[in-house]
A and B are shown apart, each in its own frame.
Chain A
Amino acid sequence: MTTATPHVHPRQEVPSDDPRVQLDEAVGVFEPIPPYPPRTERESEFYTLGDGEMYINMGPQHPSTHGVLRIVLKLDGEQVVDLDPVLGYLHRGVEKLCENADYHHTIAYLDPLEYISSLFCEWPGVLAFEKLLDVEVPRRAEYIRVLSTELNRILSHSLFMGWMALDLGGLTPILWSFIERDEIAEMLAALTGQRLLFNYLRIGGVNGDLNHEFLSRLGDWMSRATHQIENNLGLLNQNEIFVRRMRGLGVLDKETAFRMAVTGPNLRASGVPLDFRRAHPYSVFTELEFDIPTRDEGDCLARYLVRIDEIKQSLRIIDQCLHNMPDGPIMAKLPRLLRPRPGRAYAAVEGPRGQYAAYVVSDGTDQPFRMRIHDPSFVHLQSVGVLMPGHLIADAMAVMASLDPIMGGVDK
């Protein structure tokens, strides 16, 4: 016999003799406690309040969760004791959609995974398909890919600088960094035809050749890029309040970083010079010269500074690409309908946030049998659970901003 207790959500019929639903007081409308009894040990631990603690729902409409992330924070005063991230507000089922699209069509689904660095989402998928098909990509196409993605990396990093400052309460840097972003977006729009979701890479090459407008915009920007970025940085790097808040905050040591499978600038800020462009070279990165900036501190300031150094390295790579750009076709000769051999392929690239990877299983038809997308934002968001507890709310925001997750990639 079952009766609904007043403590439990009315739709949920729970036996009243269950000891786990005997809560001390009625659950209010706005309590973040789920309407069901705790299902795991972890859940029951989290949803048990200690003395003087309270829950607070951060998101999904909170201004500084970088999208629609929801985190239930357990607070003691202003200090974060524990947290429970709730994902899935932006879930679109990209992996499933890809299974019902042909190989060319898949790129358009991969593209909006991360709306800040779209080219990096396309790249691993395209690389994996090329491995399945055994396609030789023309060298000019490879150079154009590197050129456009490095521009996208600068775009992403310059936005990161602004967001970082915005989450610390600074108003101006976000708008200054949007100037940079806008110039690059215009540039890439001239190349690809889109400002945000470029949909530019193709299996066996790229969609369009370099054109006059792109090159003139790029040359114009390159002549003042270094100066302009330095200028923007002055507002933050020489700001005592900013540096004091970031230094020593959210330290991610080497072991934890490995354990949490952190990649990209966040890992390099912890002192590990791992860069997939060097570790597992793809495309033409073996021919290009660049350094891998690292820092040993592993705190928010290090993560911020590593990204700034990466911008400079990206500028270097773009310079070399422009100098070494070979002539030739931009697309390999491929049939209209692609039917790769049955098999599986994995490809990973180094994006602005870390390792973007795709794992494709082909069954010989014109659609991928299974497509698994690895996104760095999702992986990095795990380490929030290690970094946030013990900090104040304000610092929790800064820690999350410094990891630079994009919810589009997290929820897929």
Chain B
Amino acid sequence: MARSFSRLTLAGKILFTIFPILLVLTGGLIVVIVVAGKPIVDFLATNIWLVRFVVAATAVLLMSVPSAFLIIYMEMKVIALMNLRIGPDRVGPFGSLLSVVHGLKVLMKEDFSPTGADRLVFTLAPIAVFMATIMSLLVLPFAPGLFGVDMNIGLLYLFAVSGLSVVGLLMAGWSSFNKYSLLGGLRSAAQVVSYEIPLTLSVVGLLLLAGTMSLNTISTNQAGWFTNWYVFQQPLGALIFFIAATAEANRTPFDLTEADSEIVAGFATEYSGMRFGFFFFAEYVNVFVVSGLIVTLFFGGWNAPFPWPWPIALNIDPGSMGLGLLFALLIVPPLLILALAAPFYVGRSTLPWWQALIIGFVLFNLLVVVAIGGWAFISWDWVAGLFWFLGKSYLFVFTFVWMRGTLPRVRIDQLMGFAWKWLLPASLLNLFVTAAALVVVHR
């Protein structure tokens, strides 16, 4: 048995390992459902929040890694273009699969801990950082109806949870048995604790305006034209929040915790393999969280910049077409493929007919995707919401990447001085002005 297994190819090994496990799991699931199906369904039906929570947690976990991949690729490519380099271009179209390969590499690397390290803390630190980041994704409203949990203290929860990541960084810095890591960990503690204060104070003015801490309600408050966005009522607050959030996410110019030219990657110096991968993913997911939070609080969340939906209703009922539907499905695609392929075949005489057909097929598929996407965008408001939310978020992600490509790093005393001497008074001023304005308006 063992001998035959060793003769298999890699794909065969994977298949023959996974298949029996799946078989056993499926069988077990069937047995469980047959034996205790009714009570379980009843329980879940009465406690629908549990289902919602599990689904949301799974979705968030599943989503975090691809979005980190996307942001890593974006960072590599955008900075490369700013540096007048080509950047990743080997794996996948325009090198877009490079971060996937990168992730696989990180998975396969040896995962060791240095001599003298505190093994338990060393192992737990990346998990703590990753968990803190993932947990803060849970309350972010992506679209109407598309969110993990709608807490009435959502913003408070978010600050609390994202503040936890500093514990992980400190753990990593302390347990690595490396003075560079220690310096990095202490730097991150000092930095994040200092910037928590202006970060939190800068949104208090907004909370006075919104009257709620629920991120969903804050999003709905900003519906309509883009002038309703809180950035126009709280410009100073938005600016302070953006700066403090940059520091909170340890991004350039505030990336002192992992300053490679000073303290050699800081807390991550001794990490390798997937433990380093967790730090890496957490950093980039954190960038997304911060961007999403800025969009949610100040830039209208999932609302379009203009009133949406437009008075368009696409009431397509496929059933009413009868036999015509069958013909349409059979005849329209080949005709469209031919029509799309024809210009290439005619225009470029060197192109063989089958290559033209392939081009036509690809174009047809793109057309279908665009058509279906457009239809979904118009018909379902969560698709539109997701579109606007992700679009605006990635605009801010791009801003962070842009800053990384342009700015040098600040010094630690400049960083601290900026937080305590400028951001904190400015955020207090913002709070007082907002409160005074509210008192005057409501009188």
Contact = CB atoms under 8 A, between A and B. Distances in A.
Interface of A: 28-30, 54, 56, 62-64, 78, 165-172, 175-176, 179, 235, 239, 241-242, 244-245, 392-395, 397
B260 interface: yes
Task: Across the A-B interface, give the 10 residue pairs with the lowest CB-CB distance, nearest first.
Answer: A169-B409, A170-B408, A168-B408, A175-B83, A64-B261, A169-B408, A56-B179, A394-B262, A167-B261, A242-B408
B317 to A, nearest CB: 56
A410 B49 CA distance: 68
A70 to B, nearest CB: 14
B252 interface: yes
Given A56-B180, A394-B412, 11 more contacts: A30-B116, A78-B412, A169-B253, A169-B255, A169-B259, A175-B83, A239-B407, A241-B407, A241-B408, A241-B410, A397-B262
A64 B260 CA distance: 8
7 contacts: A62-B264, A170-B409, A171-B405, A172-B82, A175-B84, A239-B408, A244-B414
Of A29, A63, A169, A242, most B-chain CB atoms within 10 Å: A169
Nearest to B115: A29
A56 to B, nearest CB: 5
A392 to B, nearest CB: 6
A241 B253 contact: yes
A393 B408 contact: no
B404 A245 contact: no
Interface string B263-287: 1100000000000000000000000
Given A175-B83, A176-B83, A241-B410, A54 B179 contact: yes
Given A63-B260, A64-B261, A169-B255, A395 B83 contact: no
B85 interface: yes
A56 B374 CA distance: 59
A393 B183 contact: yes
Contacts of B13: none
Nearest to B187: A78
B91 to A, nearest CB: 22
B405 A63 contact: no
Contacts of A28: 116
Interface residues of B, number: 33
Contacts of B79: 171-172
Contacts of A64: 261-262
Contacts of A168: 261, 408-409
A175 B80 CA distance: 10
A286 B406 CA distance: 42
Nearest to A65: B261
Contacts of B256: 394
Contacts of B177: 30
A166 B261 contact: yes
Nearest to B256: A394
Interface string B173-195: 00001011001000100000000
Contact of B261 (A63, A179, A244, A245): A63
